Amino acid sequence: MRSLVVGASAGLGRALAEELARRGHDLYLVASDERDLEPLARDLTLVHGVTVHTHAADLAALDPTDLRAGYDQRFDDLDCLFLVAGLGDPDDSGSVDPVLLDRLIAVNFAAGVRIVNVFLDDLATRPGAHIVGVGSVAAARARRNNSVYGASKRALEFYFEAIRHYLADAPCRVQFYRLGYMATQMFGDRETMLPVARPEQVARAMVDRLGGASGVRYLPNWWRWVMLLIRLLPWPIFKRLDV
């Protein structure tokens, strides 16, 4: 199996790369900084004996044809495409700095669409192929904080739904995850009453589900009940919550 992981340098992306390598996937890792990618590639090659290539690019300025060409130079076919990259910012509330706004949309949504688009035709017809996207519980109901981030992730989910529909009769699976709190730098040191998942746990669950049905799922799964409750909250109550 060959997998391409976008956003592989840290957090969930790195955990996912490690889990895939542990299960024998050759990897093409994409992230913004080669200084992070190179040691990860060396580690995975040494420990798991898989072939790992890297592609350093800023997702906000990514040329998807470059990415595709780079991949094709090193591997023949792609089995699994994972879009894990995400960018959040504490200033993403109310009126957002235009440069930040563009970057949030580019990294969380536009880059993902461009990357899927450039691999879509090949993946569509490939038995056992997967397109896997990562969203957030932040996109389940709009709120004042993380407004652009949440909207971008909702847009990405919408796009994945469209792709799932497009590939409904194709062998390729399209899976999308709404992730709950996870111990990454993006989550930071926020205090919460809810359990915080480790990236390694989430990565394992995602890889376990390869071969499973297309669709949208929460990870960890219990978040579905939390978000159901939040979505059902009447607006007069919801608007008073500091979320």
Partner 1 sequence: MKRRLRSLDGSYSCEADVFEPDRYRQLLSLGAEVKMAVQGGGISLTAASFGGGARVINMRRFNRLLGFDPERGTVEAEAGITLGRLSAFLVKRGFTVPVQPAHPQITLGGCIAANVHGKNPYRDGLFGGLVERLRLFHPAHGELMLSREQNGDLFDLTCGGYGLTGMIVSARIRIAPLGGNCCEVTHIRVADLADTFARLDELKESHDLLYSWNDLARFDRHMGRGYVVAGTFVDREPAPAGPRRLPRLDPHRGSVARLSLINPVTLPALTALYYRASRGAGPRILDLTRALFPAVERTFYFSAYGRAGFIEHQILVPDSRRLDYLGEFEALVRRHRQPIGLASLKLLQGRQRLLHFDGSGVSFCLHLPNRPGPRALLEELDALNSQYGVITNLIKDSRLSAVTARHQYPEFDRFVGRLGAFDPGRLFVSALSERMAI
Binding site for partner 1 (CB under 8 A): 9-11, 14, 33, 35-36, 39-40, 42-43, 46-47, 184-185, 188-189
Residue carrying the six token digits 């391409």: 4
Do 99 and 142 form a contact (C-beta atoms < 8 A)?
no
CB nearer to partner 1: give 40 or 172. 40
Other C-beta atoms closer than 10 Å to the C-beta of 88 total: 22
CB nearer to partner 1: give 47 or 243. 47
CB nearer to partner 1: give 47 or 142. 47
The Cα 38–Cα 117 span in angstroms is: 26
Structure tokens at 87: 């960018």
Distance in Å, CB of 195 to partner 1, minimum = 17
CB nearer to partner 1: give 88 or 150. 88
Other C-beta atoms closer than 10 Å to the C-beta of 9 total: 22
Distance in Å, CB of 29 to partner 1, minimum = 13
Distance in Å, CB of 35 to partner 1, minimum = 4
Do 91 and 144 form a contact (C-beta atoms < 8 A)?
no
Q: Maximum Cα–Cα distance for the chain, whole Å?
A: 56
Distance in Å, CB of 103 to partner 1, minimum = 15
Distance in Å, CB of 183 to partner 1, minimum = 10
CB nearer to partner 1: give 47 or 228. 47
Distance in Å, CB of 189 to partner 1, minimum = 3
SS3 content of the chain, % helix, strand, coil (to 5): 45, 20, 35
Distance in Å, CB of 79 to partner 1, minimum = 25
Overall residue count recorded for the chain in this entry: 243
CB nearer to partner 1: give 18 or 79. 18
| Cα separations in angstroms, 197 against 84, 99, 161, 173 | 16, 31, 25, 25
CB nearer to partner 1: give 42 or 239. 42
Residue carrying the six token digits 């990357």: 115
Which of 140, 164, 171, 170 lies closest to 153, judged by CA? 140
The Cα 83–Cα 176 span in angstroms is: 9
